[in-house]
Amino acid sequence: MKVSALIGSIALGLLPGTFAAPPNGFDTDDLALEVARRALPNAPDGYTPANVSCPASRPTVRSAAHLSPNETSWLDTRRSKSLAAMKDFFGHVKVGDFDVTSYLNQHSSNSSSLPNIAIAVSGGGYRALMNGAGAIKAFDSRTENATTSGHLGGLLQSSTYVAGLSGGSWLVGSIYINNFTTIDALQRGSTWQFSNSILEGPPTGGIQILKSASYYTDLAEAVNGKQDAGFDTSITDIWGRALGYQMFNASNGGLAYTWSSIAETSAFNDGNYPMPLVVADGRNPGQLIVGSNSTVYEFNPWEFGTFDPTIYGFVPLEYLGSRFVGGSLPSNETCVRGFDNAGFIIGTSSTLFNQFLLQLNTTSLPSFVKNIFAHILYKLDKSDDDIAAYDPNPFYHYNNHSSPYAQQTELDVVDGGEDLQNIPLHPLIQPERAVDVIFAIDSSADTTYSWPNGTSLVATYERSLNSSGIGNGTVFPSIPDQNTFVNLGLNTRPTFFGCDSSNLTGPAPIVVYIPNYPYSAYSNVSTFTLSYKDSQRDDIILNGYEVATMANSTRDGNWTACVGCAILSRSFERTKTTLPDICTQCFTNYCWNGTVNSTAPGAFEPVTLLADSDSGASAIVPTVLSTAAAVSVALLTMI
């Protein structure tokens, strides 16, 4: 008897009638909507990757020297949409007396002179998801009142890229797999039910009719299916399936939804919203610790791969799971689809949270649930290994002379924050993408009380200094040490880095650093907290809104103008436009000017900036994961 069947019968025996396996990967409700515009349940066999016939031109790995033809042509389509959105944005965001609309009209025929905007949402579990959601909500023109004076609605619609990592990738996945939905809808709907811990599964009733036992049976069924089809599995497969239940509004946790299906939807193809990016790290062959020299991967709607010199290649995401050799698919090999399950992608970006599953024993779940889980773990190839197995390695024998992965039949991919670059800036500082400004939302837990202190920017800066090595020519603004961040308060309000482009060694964006900070709520909840009441979730999201808008500009009446200046700055340089006076003032106020104060600061314990709040405690010290692997715990306390 297969273990999957065994588990199924355990659950059936104990809970008659509660477990109904889907007849196959498809969900008829979702299929009916296939013509509608949202990410699609288009995997051939649910969670299990399956052989399909190859397209006429067989998929290949391509060099990272340029953007993909898909991205290049999508950018063309996107530009007219983002330009229109920018005009709307500057309809309510005034930059002193400067007429931004005329400026944009004047240069609209040469799109490369116009601003190119990106948003990056850091990791940090649910804290990062919620604080990031507040910022995205603030940037979204669809949010009620967000396009009034003092707010920033429309920045999202004006952006070209939105990147997420780990907890930030759960946010990006929640938005994109659910039809570019709004944060408001996620708060009001049945998807973001964080009061139900991911360990227990979704509430019963509604779209996901499950109980904890059948939840785990469902997770096991899917993962066993993949394994029985000959694919390596790890605990990340279980974790990714669980995330699907909590982030995707589809029955069976979006079993057949692929990440590549985003590129098949008409709304995305029409350029109606920004391009989503998810970041993960590579673990080098034979290594356990992921250091600053590790390879950084991106998942975009078309491809998986990296600009790093280690691999310097991209594979079509849809055909991940096919046996590429030396960058092409041998004639005796078939195409495989369905490997890029959307939950698996965001699970890959957040593998450190695999540790939580291993803590299931410490929960109050009934013991038969724990037994089911023990069986799942037993069956996995890599039960306690914190990696996602990308086997077959799509870059097998690719760039044989330079790639440390070329001889590996399996690629080990891990949490995007493990190299300490906890903000997904890597895809956004690639010269080919020519980004002008990155809004970097940092929800990292760097300090004792889980506030950010610039560690992530420091890591990206240091990596860029190795420009002939792993940095591969990427340029990043100078970033001071973390003590300076705390001493100068650079982590208490937005700070701009790289304002003066003449002080850079090459083209690089301005980084608008937006650190998590308490306005109306203590949003420094522990990375280890896995369940939140709706009211606390909403308080933290509102706090994130206030972080991004500086309390709707009540903290600085010129904040939105200064955001406008950051957006326009590089464009002004290209068009040789004199900086408006208000921008000079803004840059004096917000740009880090090179001052350093590296003396060791005292404890960083900010209190809510707005009126007293009862919505949280300021000091939350991690204790839960005492048995987890030491390295993971150390990292989890930081991200």
Ligand X SMILES: *[C@@H]1O[C@H](CO)[C@@H](O)[C@H](O)[C@H]1NC(C)=O
| List of residues contacting ligand X (CB under 6 A) | 33, 36-38, 69-70, 144-145, 179, 263-264, 291-293, 302, 309, 312, 330, 332-333, 358, 361, 374, 402, 446-447, 453, 455, 466, 469, 472-473, 477-478, 482-483, 486, 488, 503, 542, 545-546, 551-552, 554, 557-558, 582, 585, 592-595, 601, 604, 610, 638
Q: What's the closest the beta carbon of residue 407 comes to ligand X, in angstroms?
A: 15
- Could you tell me if 308 and 295 are in contact, meaning their C-beta atoms sit under 8 angstroms apart? yes
Among candidates 141, 143, 170, 145, which has minimal Cα distance to 156?
141
Q: What's the closest the beta carbon of residue 580 comes to ligand X, in angstroms?
A: 9
Q: What's the closest the beta carbon of residue 110 comes to ligand X, in angstroms?
A: 25
- Could you tell me if 307 and 114 are in contact, meaning their C-beta atoms sit under 8 angstroms apart? no
522: exposed, middle or buried (Cβ count in 10 Å: 0-12, 13-18, 19+):
buried
Q: DSSP assignment of 102-131, as one string? A: HHHHHTTTSGGGS--EEEEE---HHHHHHH
The smaller minimum CB distance to ligand X, of residues 285 and 473, is found at 473
Q: What's the closest the beta carbon of residue 291 comes to ligand X, in angstroms?
A: 4
Q: What's the closest the beta carbon of residue 528 comes to ligand X, in angstroms?
A: 16
The smaller minimum CB distance to ligand X, of residues 108 and 292, is found at 292
The smaller minimum CB distance to ligand X, of residues 18 and 478, is found at 478
The smaller minimum CB distance to ligand X, of residues 17 and 602, is found at 602
- Could you tell me if 172 and 162 are in contact, meaning their C-beta atoms sit under 8 angstroms apart? yes
Torsional sign, CA 561, 453, 197, 381: positive
Distance of CA 79 to the CA centre of its chain: 23
The smaller minimum CB distance to ligand X, of residues 412 and 419, is found at 419
d(CA 570, CA 327): 37
C-alpha distance from residue 68 to each of 72, 120, 172, 308, 398 (Å): 6, 21, 21, 15, 18
The smaller minimum CB distance to ligand X, of residues 107 and 154, is found at 154
The first and second tokens of residue 126, run together, are 């649910």
The smaller minimum CB distance to ligand X, of residues 119 and 458, is found at 458
Q: What's the closest the beta carbon of residue 573 comes to ligand X, in angstroms?
A: 16
Among candidates 530, 159, 581, which has minimal Cα distance to 356?
530
d(CA 52, CA 172): 29
Helix, strand, or coil (residue 19): coil
Q: What is the dihedral of CA 308, 309, 313, 317, to 10 degrees?
A: -30
Q: What's the closest the beta carbon of residue 457 comes to ligand X, in angstroms?
A: 11
Counted residue by residue, the chain has a size of 639
The smaller minimum CB distance to ligand X, of residues 114 and 167, is found at 167
DSSP letter assigned to residue 283: P
- Radius of gyration (Cα) for the chain, nearest Å? 23
Q: What's the closest the beta carbon of residue 58 comes to ligand X, in angstroms?
A: 11
The smaller minimum CB distance to ligand X, of residues 113 and 483, is found at 483
The smaller minimum CB distance to ligand X, of residues 115 and 471, is found at 471
Q: What's the closest the beta carbon of residue 112 comes to ligand X, in angstroms?
A: 20
The smaller minimum CB distance to ligand X, of residues 187 and 478, is found at 478
Helix, strand, or coil (residue 16): coil
Q: What's the closest the beta carbon of residue 543 comes to ligand X, in angstroms?
A: 10
Q: HSE, CB side, 13 Å, CA atoms: give it for residue 136.
A: 32
- Could you tell me if 208 and 464 are in contact, meaning their C-beta atoms sit under 8 angstroms apart? no
The smaller minimum CB distance to ligand X, of residues 69 and 91, is found at 69
Q: What's the closest the beta carbon of residue 197 comes to ligand X, in angstroms?
A: 17
Q: What's the closest the beta carbon of residue 438 comes to ligand X, in angstroms?
A: 15
Torsional sign, CA 79, 84, 85, 89: positive
Helix, strand, or coil (residue 150): coil
C-alpha distance from residue 267 to each of 34, 155, 176, 262, 530 (Å): 13, 18, 11, 9, 33
The smaller minimum CB distance to ligand X, of residues 80 and 598, is found at 598
Geometric angle at alpha carbon 179, from 173 and 183, rounded to 5°? 65
Q: What's the closest the beta carbon of residue 179 comes to ligand X, in angstroms?
A: 4
- Could you tell me if 477 and 461 are in contact, meaning their C-beta atoms sit under 8 angstroms apart? yes
d(CA 436, CA 429): 9
The first and second tokens of residue 310, run together, are 């280690």
d(CA 190, CA 208): 10
The smaller minimum CB distance to ligand X, of residues 245 and 314, is found at 314
The smaller minimum CB distance to ligand X, of residues 151 and 211, is found at 151
Q: What's the closest the beta carbon of residue 165 comes to ligand X, in angstroms?
A: 15
93: exposed, middle or buried (Cβ count in 10 Å: 0-12, 13-18, 19+):
buried
Q: DSSP assignment of 303-323, as one string? A: EEEE-STTT-EEEEGGGTTS-
d(CA 191, CA 351): 22
Q: What's the closest the beta carbon of residue 453 comes to ligand X, in angstroms?
A: 4
